[in-house]
């Protein structure tokens, strides 16, 4: 199927790949894949002062991690690189000059002190900031330090039909004679963005709502160039559960941080898709394939999306549980190796790790959970620390607990096999025999061998720990109670 749909993700390399920004990339990619169109990446690095070293690499790494691939671009090492605006300056210069020639733009020589003074006066008078159009009709030419500004129509309205927001219209009179080409020779976002969307034959511009107020400027520019504008679709803003602007404290951090914390890319993709898009009001779990099949712009909502980190944890836990044991093992192994505390001797015994991991498969919310102190540390560290009170059930006293553990210890000592089934066959009836509840006996043994009150299934845990370790730890528990 050939399609005329061409969309782009146009990040500015000014920081880490924020989840909101990656959502924009993902929606564009899903739309392209749904329509059989093309998806490109264009780096908008025209703000030299704000460009951050390494930011682009982080953004591309985030895309690759999620499986977002792009379809064309200049060749870099046998692969497609993204388009990069700073390598296209000559194009923007030529086009800005054309606009000056045909009377749609002009050179402005105003020194920065003058612009600052205007701004200060406007602020004092509580007027909106904006250039006072001093150079607009002076017919100035180029000179060092000059900028090129757009000659904004002084009246009329600029309206367009946004695929998500419907009819949007702006009064031209409130728009400024904005800068097209800066004094450092770089284009502004507006100029480069419009020229590239045209030259790259972008059919749909899908971007965050914060760019909505730039769109009338862009439409006027398209008009001045004699270009047909693309169709616009502004994605809803993302808020925290408290409806405040999304920030770090809501968990809105770099997408790579989620990777490093052990979120699965397929869970992250599913979660991102639901930030502003929905299939219906109940279905929440979608594979990438299903997202591609069902992604349409009509299903993108106008209302703010809420970023709920608990929901992401829930979703990630579900994706982890649905992994096959082999897949879980393969993905969790690096987290185990990296995540266990320094006190645990390295290198880890691979065979032992492979016995431990399946026990936490059901409980892990993230892959990093497999190496947390509360989940698996006790498998690797003999110095488990806990308060003796934890051994004693609410309805029992110290003496009873001590007797119970001593009996259990004696019976465990004579066991030949130490597998989960044997342990269960021994300990369940033993509770009856002693006259305590199974939970009371198991609880004390659990704390004795793990130091914790919530752990993976007890008998399997004991099997993996092995007889010597279990008896040794129960012995220590008995010592604590004496
Ligand atoms: N460079 C802009 C950004 O950082 C692109 C906005 C747009 O998509 O037009 O988000």
Tens of pLDDT along the chain (482 residues)?
568 999 999 999 999 999 999 999 999 999 999 999 999 999 999 999 999 999 999 999 999 999 999 999 999 888 999 999 999 999 999 999 999 999 999 999 999 999 999 999 999 999 989 999 999 999 999 999 999 999 999 999 999 999 999 999 999 999 999 999 999 999 999 999 999 999 999 999 999 999 999 999 999 999 999 999 999 999 999 999 999 988 888 887 899 999 999 999 999 999 999 999 999 999 999 999 999 999 999 999 999 999 999 999 999 999 999 999 999 999 999 999 999 988 888 889 989 999 999 999 999 999 999 998 788 999 999 989 999 999 999 999 999 999 999 999 999 999 999 999 999 999 999 999 999 999 999 999 999 999 999 999 999 999 999 999 999 999 999 999 99
DSSP string of 87-124, one letter each residue = G-HHHHHHHHHHHHHTTSEEEE---HHHHHHHHHHHHH
The half-sphere exposure of 343 on its side-chain side, counting CA atoms within 13 A, is: 10
User: What pTM was computed for the model?
Assistant: 0.93
Ligand 1 centre and the CA of 280: distance in Å?
A: 29
Q: 210-267: per-residue pLDDT in tens?
A: 999 999 999 999 999 999 999 999 999 999 999 998 888 888 789 999 999 999 999 9
- Inter-helix orientation angle 89-101/189-199, to 10°: 100
Query: Which amino acid residue places its CA nearest to atom 3 of ligand 1?
Result: 11
Query: Which amino acid residue places its CA nearest to atom 10 of ligand 1?
Result: 11
Sign, CA torsion 237/242/245/248: negative
207 lines ligand 1 (CB under 6 A): yes
28 lines ligand 1 (CB under 6 A): no
218 lines ligand 1 (CB under 6 A): no
The dihedrals phi and psi of 369, each to the nearest 5 degrees, come to: -55, -25
10 lines ligand 1 (CB under 6 A): yes
Ligand 1 centre and the CA of 177: distance in Å?
A: 20
Q: Which residues are catalytic?
A: 248
369 lines ligand 1 (CB under 6 A): no
Ligand 1 centre and the CA of 131: distance in Å?
A: 24
Token pair 């329509």: residue: 35
Three-state DSSP at 130 gives coil
Choosing from 8, 9, 10, 192 the residue with most ligand 1 atoms within 8 A of its CB, the one to mutate for a pocket test is 10
Ligand 1 centre and the CA of 106: distance in Å?
A: 25
460 lines ligand 1 (CB under 6 A): no
User: Which atom, in ligand 1's list, is nearest to the CA of 214?
Assistant: 9
Smallest Cα–Cα separation from 221: which of 104, 361, 57? 104
Beta bridge pairs of residue 238? 305
CA distance linking residue 250 with residue 308, whole number of Å: 8
Taking residue 322's Cβ as centre, other Cβ atoms within 10 Å add up to 13
Ligand 1 centre and the CA of 187: distance in Å?
A: 14
C-alpha angle with apex 150: 152 to 119, nearest 5 degrees? Answer: 85
């Amino acid at each position: 199927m050939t399609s005329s749909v061409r969309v782009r993700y146009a990040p500015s390399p000014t920081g880490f790949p924020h989840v909101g920004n990656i959502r924009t990339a993902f929606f564009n990619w899903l739309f392209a894949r749904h329509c059989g169109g093309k998806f490109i990446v264009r780096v908008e690095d025209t703000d030299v002062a704000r460009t951050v070293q390494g930011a682009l690499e982080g953004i591309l790494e985030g895309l690759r991690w999620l499986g977002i691939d792009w379809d064309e671009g200049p060749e870099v090492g046998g692969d497609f690189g993204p388009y990069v605006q700073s390598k296209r300056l000559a194009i923007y210069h030529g086009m800005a000059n054309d606009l000056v020639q045909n009377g749609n733009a002009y050179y402005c020589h105003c020194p920065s002190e003058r612009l600052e003074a205007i701004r200060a006066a406007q602020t004092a008078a509580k007027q909106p900031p904006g250039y006072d159009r001093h150079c607009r009709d002076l017919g100035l030419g180029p000179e060092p330090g000059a900028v090129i500004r757009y000659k904004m129509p002084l009246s009329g309205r600029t309206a367009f039909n946004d695929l998500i927001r419907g009819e949007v219209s702006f009064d031209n009179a409130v728009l400024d004679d904005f800068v097209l080409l800066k004094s450092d020779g770089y284009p502004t976002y507006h100029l480069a963005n419009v020229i590239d969307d045209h030259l790259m034959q972008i059919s749909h511009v899908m971007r965050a709502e914060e760019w909505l107020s730039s769109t009338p400027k862009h439409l006027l520019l398209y008009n001045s160039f004699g270009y047909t504008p693309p169709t616009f679709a502004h994605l809803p803003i993302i808020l925290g559960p408290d409806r405040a602007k999304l920030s770090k404290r809501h968990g809105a951090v770099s997408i790579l941080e989620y990777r490093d914390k052990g979120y699965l890319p397929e869970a992250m993709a599913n979660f991102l898709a639901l930030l502003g898009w929905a299939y219906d009001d109940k279905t929440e779990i979608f594979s990438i394939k299903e997202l591609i099949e069902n992604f349409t712009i009509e299903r993108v909502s106008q209302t703010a999306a809420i970023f709920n980190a608990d929901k992401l944890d829930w979703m990630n836990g579900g994706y982890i549980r649905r992994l096959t044991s082999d897949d879980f093992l393969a993905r969790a192994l690096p987290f185990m190796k990296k995540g266990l505390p320094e006190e645990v001797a390295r290198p880890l015994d691979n065979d032992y790790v492979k016995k431990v991991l399946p026990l936490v498969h059901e409980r892990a919310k993230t892959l990093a959970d497999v190496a947390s102190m509360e989940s698996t540390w006790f498998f690797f560290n003999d110095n488990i620390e806990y308060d003796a009170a934890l051994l004693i059930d609410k309805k029992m006293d110290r003496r009873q607990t001590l007797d119970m553990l001593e009996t259990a210890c004696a019976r465990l000592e004579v066991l030949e096999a130490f597998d989960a089934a044997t342990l269960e066959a021994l300990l369940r009836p033993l509770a009856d025999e002693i006259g305590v509840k199974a939970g009371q006996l198991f609880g004390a043994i659990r704390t004795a061998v793990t130091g914790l009150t919530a752990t993976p299934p007890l008998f399997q845990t004991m099997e993996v720990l092995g007889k010597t370790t279990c008896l040794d730890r129960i012995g220590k528990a008995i010592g604590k109670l004496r």
